Chain A
Amino acid sequence: MAASSTAAAGRPAPPLAASLRRAGRAVAVPAGSVVFAFLMGAVIVAVTGGNPFAAYQALICGGFGLLCSGGENAGLQVSNTIVFLTPLIMAGVAVALPFRAGLFNIGAEGQLIVGAIACTTVGIHFAAAPAPVLLPAVLLAGMAAGAAWAGIVGVLKALTGAHEVVTTIMLNYIAQWLLRFLIIGGPLQLHNGFSVSSPIGAGAHLSTLLPHDDKLIVFGLPASVYRVHVGLLIALLAAGTYAFLLWRSSFGYEVRAVGQSQKAARYAGMSVRRTIILTMLISGAFAGLAGAVQIAAVDHNLTDKYFSDTTGFDAIAVALLGLGTATGIVFAAILFGALHGGGAVMQSDAGISGNLVYVLQALILFSIAANFLRTLKLRLPAVGRAAGTPAAEAPAGALAGESATALADDEGLA
């Protein structure tokens, strides 16, 4: 409707320009948040006596392998970034899908951990099984465990109305302590004195894209240092599956309907309870897959790093920054993966603490939540108009940006 009123106003906009404008409008909030965060970060670096240009140059080097000044290998930096962003895509989807149904899944971390535990358990107990059997088995085990973990939340929400924020947070703790028990003195412990599990069988290893070979030299380094793995393709497939489910399936339609108004969905004859439970099951499967892929492709055993892992929490930021869309999640994951990879280079090359990365992530989240851009538009209507924004705007709310995209996408489909 908004689009047609613009078109009727005189110059009929060509479809390409219209969709570009729509896309521009959609990314304005996240892009603005990122710019805001980097500007504030630069101020913080400058005020504390550092050089913001050197800091960001090193950050870009560590994230994307560009503008390197300290002799870094570009291929290695890109490879590390991809390894970091792979689980973020899958966990990001696990947060975004419940968002669409009006559920806030804080529990991606717990679901990821039980996915990792299930994958490792199967990988250890059937270590001798051949790869064509074992590899799908460990990944499916991870998905099933994650789905079950999140399913508890869905069932509780649907039957008793227990708030999913509370139950997911509690289940995160249970997952973490379960892991502690299993690898410190428990049945999965490697042997006494280690806080790691035994390694999974070779058949459960998800292969890297380049051969795992210390002798083969690629881009000046042994091929085995490039850890990019098949999990990247799985993650992209997961994002594609999410988009398909959401926009091309009747389930996705129900998820969106429930998310916008449970009452309306109920009057339309949908089962809200069934939708909530199914949403959490599928969401948990995505998070569990993230954990399973991390074990099968990178770690090959459970380690104490999962006690303090934050992938599932970073995924909340990724889902928000990506506005809950599949493409958005992939781009947001690239940004967060690059920040993760860049932090270390920033510390070693520019002497700026890698903790700046966490400040940047927090600032990005903060400014998305605060929605500065919208405030700016409300205060200065001329700014909004200049960009060709029609009067009809997104409804206010914490997820205003997300609803705006959802609206735009709906128009696109109509």
Chain B
Amino acid sequence: MVHSGLRVVTALAAAGALLSACGGTGSPGASASKTIKVGLVTDIGGLNDKSFNHLAYVGLQKAKSDFGVQGDVTESHSGDDYVPNLTNYASKKYDLVIGVGFLMQQAVGTVSGQFPSVHFAIIDGAGTDANGTDLKHSNVESLFFKEQDAGALVGVISGVLEKDGATPKKSHKIGAVGGVSIPPVNHYIAGYKWAAKMEDPSVKVFVGYSNNFTDPAKCAGVASSQISQGADVLFQVAGGCGLGVLQSAGQAHVYSIGVDADQKDADASVIASALKRVDVATYDAIKGVKDGTFQGGALTFSLQNDGVGYQADNLQLPSDVMTAVQDVSAKIKSGALTPPADIPDPTVP
């Protein structure tokens, strides 16, 4: 009863949106005559991961209220669930099925081949075969992010603070703690290191990996080691594991930088967060299906289309920092500066 009630409400909302759209502009409403159905499948992180699954859900909710689409969510509880959950939505002829995360690449590759008339989108990955090779199905949209743009902006913050001697230890040493050495993680760190060295050429950047994305204790260990070597700004790029970095920084009274979502509430030491707008990407993918502009292949979200960004958090950043961030941001947008995707020469600090 409850859920059929919800359906009615959704349908009414959709009808309302349609009527107002037609009344307002007389825009092409023919393709919107049926409710667009969107199915979102999370990875094992679940909806409350405070990171990309959550952000994808936020994007879906926004699309529901803006476009009146029907949006349903299924959380995956184990890797065994990816294929059945994607297949279930596809078999019910949903217009768009979204898989959240790199871990679902192979499942999206398999199911998109079975349902060529259903649109698929995948965050941080492509539809691949068992060898990790992109199958390039025309019904799959890969939503990638230029993490290096976001990494560069928080790198500018670290670099200028170090140059000004405004960090807790004035050590000209900063650190980055990655989860596993995989492309999305290294993009962030590459941009961070590049920008920090650009602002403060004397800065030394420690890069370490915890080989883990979920256990804060592992990341806290790497962070402590960097702090003991003198680092006084630590950038975490390790999901739930990275919360250990933020806490270690707090205990040692040094600064830290969050990742993906705004993490200022995780610890008082968080001075800024590098943002990856998975919500924007999800919203845009749904909009593409609604407008009929969906196209297979890679769609990259960068600073230029507000797909990544930064957020200043628990520290009032000095004005010269803000000026430098805005300057670099404008240059990246205009193409005058291009942060590297790969960590520049990891052997030379």
Contacts and interface: CB of A to CB of B under 8 A. Distances in A.
B50 to A, nearest CB: 17
Contacts of B81: 344
A163 B103 CA distance: 38
Interface string A178-200: 00000011000011111110110
Contact of A195 (B39, B91, B180): B180
Contact of B3 (A51, A195, A309): A51
A184 B209 CA distance: 12
A411 to B, nearest CB: 41
A310 interface: yes
B226 interface: no
B111 to A, nearest CB: 8
B132 interface: yes
Contacts of A344: 74, 76, 81, 84-85, 88
Contacts of B74: 344, 347-348, 354
Interface string A321-358: 00000000000000000001101110111110111001
A384 interface: no
A198 B2 CA distance: 46
A191 B132 contact: yes
B89 interface: yes
Interface stretch (A238-246, A265-273, A300-308): A300-308
Contacts of B87: 76, 80, 225
B132 A308 contact: no
Contact of A224 (B72, B114, B181): B114
Contact of A300 (B89, B103, B130): B130
Interface string B1-29: 11100100000000000000000000000
Interface stretch (A65-73, A154-162, A229-237): A65-73
A192 B114 contact: no
Contacts of B83: 227
B131 A199 contact: yes
A351 B131 contact: no
Contact of A351 (B2, B85, B106, B181): B2
A170 interface: no
B230 interface: no
Interface string A349-382: 1110111001000000000000000000000000
A56 B78 CA distance: 22
A50 B111 CA distance: 31
Interface residues of A, number: 53
B75 interface: yes
A341 B113 CA distance: 22
B36 interface: no
Nearest to A221: B91
B182 interface: yes
B143 to A, nearest CB: 18
B170 interface: no
Interface string B179-192: 01111000000000
Contact of A305 (B79, B88, B132): B79
A54 B2 contact: yes
B44 interface: yes
Nearest to B1: A51
B89 to A, nearest CB: 7
Interface string B66-79: 00000011111111
Interface in A41-58: 49-51, 54
Interface string B94-110: 00000000010010000
B91 A72 contact: yes
B345 interface: no
A135 B83 CA distance: 24
Interface string B120-147: 0000000000111000000000000000
B180 A222 contact: no
* Most interface-central of B3, B76, B92, B103 (chain A CB within 10 A): B3
A358 B76 CA distance: 13
Given A84-B80, A214-B113, A347-B75, A51 B132 contact: no
Nearest to B77: A354
B300 interface: no
B171 interface: no
B211 interface: yes
B77 A214 contact: no
Contacts of A298: 80
B183 A193 contact: yes
Contacts of A227: 83
A343 B77 contact: yes
B93 interface: yes
B93 A71 contact: yes
B2 A80 contact: no
A76 B91 contact: yes
A199 B131 CA distance: 7
A193 B88 contact: no
* Most interface-central of A49, A185, A301, A348 (chain B CB within 10 A): A348
A348 B85 CA distance: 9
Given A348-B88, A350-B3, A310 B78 contact: yes
Contacts of B182: 193-195
A194 B93 CA distance: 31
Contact of B114 (A225, A310, A341): A225
B53 to A, nearest CB: 14
Contacts of B6: 351
Nearest to A219: B91
A54 B1 contact: yes
A50 B59 CA distance: 25
B73 to A, nearest CB: 7
B280 to A, nearest CB: 24
A199 B130 contact: yes
* Most interface-central of B85, B91, B106 (chain A CB within 10 A): B91
Contact of A192 (B2, B39, B115, B181): B181
Given A51-B2, A348-B73, A193 B181 contact: yes
A31 to B, nearest CB: 26
Given A71-B92, A344-B88, 17 more contacts: A54-B1, A54-B3, A71-B93, A76-B87, A84-B80, A184-B211, A199-B131, A222-B114, A225-B87, A227-B83, A301-B130, A305-B80, A310-B78, A348-B72, A348-B73, A351-B6, A354-B74
27 contacts: A51-B3, A54-B3, A72-B91, A184-B180, A184-B211, A190-B132, A193-B182, A196-B106, A199-B130, A199-B131, A225-B87, A225-B111, A227-B83, A298-B80, A305-B78, A309-B78, A309-B79, A309-B80, A310-B78, A340-B80, A344-B84, A344-B85, A347-B75, A348-B39, A348-B72, A349-B3, A351-B6
4 smallest beta-carbon distances between A and B, as pairs: A305-B79, A199-B130, A193-B182, A80-B84
